[in-house]
Chain A
Amino acid sequence: EIVLTQSPDFQSVTPKEKVTITCRASQNIGSSLHWYQLKPDQSPKLLIRYASQSFSGVPSRFSGSGSGTHFTLTINGLEAEDAATYYCHQSTALPFTFGPGTKVDIK
């Protein structure tokens, strides 16, 4: 099973700041890495698929990069509505696995 780790676990950020979340895979997963945003009582949202492809309707401040074992999700200019937990997910090999999540809080 491919293990994903995320850092940091938690980040408290001022609006308009830049946020960078890292996801590392236990083995090479190419670009088969996707990012999701989860908020309480809302449907989770896909932000980025295949490491760097923005999903339809996602604000341009969200971007992804990386390949192999090291990936990043960047939020350029955090907005209050971005307070959420962010998860990475790999789809190279079954079982599909998720990272443990990074909670982003607004100061």
Chain B
Amino acid sequence: QLQLQESGPGLVKPSETLSLTCIVSGGSISSSSYYWAWIRQPPGKGLEWIGTISYRGSTYYNPSLTRRLTISVDTSKDDFSLKLTSVTAADTAVYYCASGGYESFDYWGQGTLVTVSS
């Protein structure tokens, strides 16, 4: 079974770049069977889809974040990454990585809390 684990700083300063990596095990990130996604949940709020990348590197982003967002895949390390620039307090959230088909998120990481604060 596919397992995912988020890693990255838990604290980011306003206006800086939030960078997270999702390490994949139990399967290959190059598999054509999977898409790879990021989802977040601000404290006390619901879930927000951030974006998805295919094994070939095709990306699909939430329009509300497109200007600041980059999602990429590193097949040599079996991981994929999220970069969100110019962060504000509104970007404080638990960030989840997930995988599945294009449409459903079949497997999720445990999530990592990222706080934006000076």
A residues with a Cβ closer than 8 A to B are: 32, 34, 36, 38, 41-46, 49-50, 55, 87, 89, 91, 94-101
Q: Name the residue of chain B whose CB is nearest to the CB of A34.
A: B104
The listed residue (B48, B64, B104) touching A91 by CB distance below 8 A is B104
Which of B24-32, B70-78, B80-88, B108-116 interfaces with chain A? B108-116
> Do residues A87 and B102 form an inter-chain contact, with CB atoms below 8 A?
no
Please report B residues at the A interface, Cβ cutoff 8 Å. 4, 46-49, 52, 60, 62-64, 96, 98, 100, 102-111
Chain B residue, CB-CB nearest to A96 = B49
**B residues near A89, Cβ cutoff 8 Å:** 47, 49, 104-105
Q: Which A residues touch B4, using CB under 8 A?
A: 43
A44 to B98 CA separation, bound complex (whole angstroms): 9
Given the known A-B contacts A34-B103, A98-B47, are A41 and B64 also in contact in the complex, defined by CB atoms under 8 Å? no
Contacts of A44 in B (CB 8 A): 96, 98, 105, 108, 111
- The answer to whether B104 touches A46, judged by C-beta atoms less than 8 angstroms apart, is yes
Give the CA-CA distance A93 to B62 in the complex, in Å: 11
For B100, the chain A residues whose CB sits under 8 A away are: 46
Chain A residue nearest in CB terms to B105: A46
- For the complex with contacts A43-B107, A44-B111, 9 further pairs of A-B residues with Cβ separation under 8 Å are A34-B104, A43-B4, A44-B98, A44-B105, A46-B100, A50-B103, A50-B104, A55-B106, A96-B52
**Chain A residues, Cβ within 8 Å of B102:** 91
Whole-angstrom distance from the CB of A37 to the nearest CB of chain B? 10
15 contacts between A and B (CB under 8 A): A34-B104, A42-B110, A43-B4, A43-B96, A43-B108, A44-B98, A49-B103, A49-B106, A87-B47, A89-B105, A91-B103, A91-B104, A96-B49, A98-B47, A98-B49
Nearest CB of chain A from residue B112's CB, rounded to whole Å: 12
Inside 8 A of A98's CB, which chain B residues have their CB?
A: 46-49
Q: Flag if B106 contacts A46 (CB, 8 Å).
A: yes
A residues in contact with B104, CB < 8 Å: 34, 46, 49-50, 89, 91
A94 touches which of B46, B60, B96 (Cβ 8 Å): B60
